[in-house]
A and B are shown apart, each in its own frame.
Chain A
Amino acid sequence: MAVCTVYTAQSLNSTCSISTPSKSHLRFHQKQVIFYTKRTNNKTRISTSNNIITCSAGGDEKTVVIGLAADSGCGKSTFMRRLTSVFGGAAEPPKGGNPDSNTLISDMTTVICLDDYHSLDRTGRKEKGVTALDPRANDFDLMYEQVKAIKEGVAVDKPIYNHVTGLLDPPELIKPPKILVIEGLHPMFDERVRELLDFSIYLDISNEVKFAWKIQRDMAERGHSLESIKASIEARKPDFDAYIDPQKQYADAVIEVLPTQLIPDDNEGKVLRVKLIMKEGVKNFNPVYLFDEGSTISWIPCGRKLTCSYPGIKFTYGPDTYFGNEVSVLEMDGQFDRLDELIYVESHLSNLSTKFYGEVTQQMLKHADFPGSNNGTGFFQTIVGLKIRDLYEQIVASRAGAPVTAAKA
């Protein structure tokens, strides 16, 4: 059933009744009414015949908020594309808005970039000698207020940080989506913002891999050299270590990317060892496991049944502690070179929250052109995407008062 929620600027979350004599009941420019649809069980009625909207916007339909933290150039955008793809529909920048907007909107999700909460623009940071990693360059009060408002179903005018000009552009309207993803350098830095997150992810890229990735990204760029790439990483490192890295202790899931151990002394950074660190006891999140939940397992799928190309694939799974928290760690070293390797591995993992057999493989194939589609980064990003879908569905189901049914693996 189509259900709507209407908020007025004056009395948000209140019961309202709007009737328009004209046919265009979607246009309330002058009244500052924000209109959007949501799948909820609230009492709402749309009657298109006489253009009367009545609604009762209750307080129990809140936006689910997900936080994704990582340094610049560490694969946040790719992860976002994988995540929004799991929910179906392409994520696009807001139509007709600022062409340099950092926001991505799809049917289910809105992804906002936390760079938009920079309190100092590029010139300001240069003058004050402060990096974007520094909390002093960011407005956490505004970040908290706006994320809180969206979570409560209130649209906000969010600033736009223009990455081309380095200036703060006029704000854009962000309407409360079903799922809000806040991605950037500091989603878990401020305690108040952290409290608003229903789930949080940290992408932890080791120094060796970060260097390799940035060479790949920047070497062709005019003005850059190995020295400049190295200098940039090193100059930013003190602030990164002080303000970004510590956030990983708060994350519900950490994707750690390291050099392979399958090739001795490998420093090419092409073959990767990727760890998925999943916190235990997180509401609506059941960690993925290999063969037997809670046991320690080392698994090389390549052998008689499955032939792999060099350097092969190796999995490890087991319980561990991470910053004093109980976690389950799933590790994949090596890469997939063929489809049957991927499907073979998927079929041996449990608690994947897939809706049908081979869904992880299908998602990976759909985006075979994305970076990391043949290794643990793409594989674990896809799995985390499915876990977030499951988490969202459990939250919605529990709100509806229906029994929570965990998706089958």
Chain B
Amino acid sequence: MASSIAGVNLTTPAILSKSSDFPKIHPFNFPTLNNPWKNKNRKMYVAPLSATPDNKLSDLVAESVKEAEQACADDPVSGECAAAWDVVEEASAAASHARDRKKESSDPLENYCKDNPETDECRTYDN
């Protein structure tokens, strides 16, 4: 996808607005393709690539466990204790899903062919 070529995520705010029935990443003109930050179009902003949440989620899991242990040290039957452990579960589930997704998308050709099975490079032949 064009957005990931420069290693950054390019998002137009219109994608998330209510009126976008057909969200599409706007095509870029050639000069801005590899220099998206030079684009004068104020609609575009650069955000870190969100396809690498692995470390972020691992940190979140580790942090949330620590927080839960603290929250429960004061009062082990409080709502705060349960809520803190619930965050641990949420983070652990998210980390596990991210791992599964990464496993699936480790082969770029496979991913491309999932979307474009009719192209030449995705043809498979029986002997």
Contacts and interface: CB of A to CB of B under 8 A. Distances in A.
Contacts of A122: 87, 90
Nearest to A223: B62
**Chain B contact patch, size range:** 35 or more
**Chain A contact patch, size range:** 35 or more
B93 A163 contact: yes
Contacts of B97: 77, 163
A405 B53 CA distance: 48
Given A29-B22, A164-B56, A235-B81, A218 B86 contact: no
A30 to B, nearest CB: 8
A238 B21 contact: no
Contacts of B93: 72-73, 163, 217
Given A221-B61, A222-B61, A232-B68, A97 B86 contact: no
Contacts of A125: 83, 86-87
A124 to B, nearest CB: 10
Nearest to A214: B92
Interface of B: 9, 15-25, 50-51, 53, 56-58, 60-66, 68-69, 72, 78-90, 92-98, 100, 114
Given A33-B21, A97-B15, A239-B86, 10 more contacts: A26-B22, A99-B51, A126-B87, A131-B82, A163-B97, A164-B53, A221-B62, A228-B68, A228-B69, A232-B86
The 7 closest A-B pairs by CB, nearest first: A129-B79, A223-B62, A235-B85, A131-B86, A170-B16, A163-B94, A129-B80
22 contacts: A34-B21, A73-B96, A77-B100, A96-B23, A96-B24, A97-B23, A99-B51, A125-B83, A132-B86, A132-B90, A133-B86, A166-B90, A221-B61, A223-B61, A223-B63, A223-B66, A224-B61, A231-B69, A231-B85, A232-B85, A232-B86, A236-B86
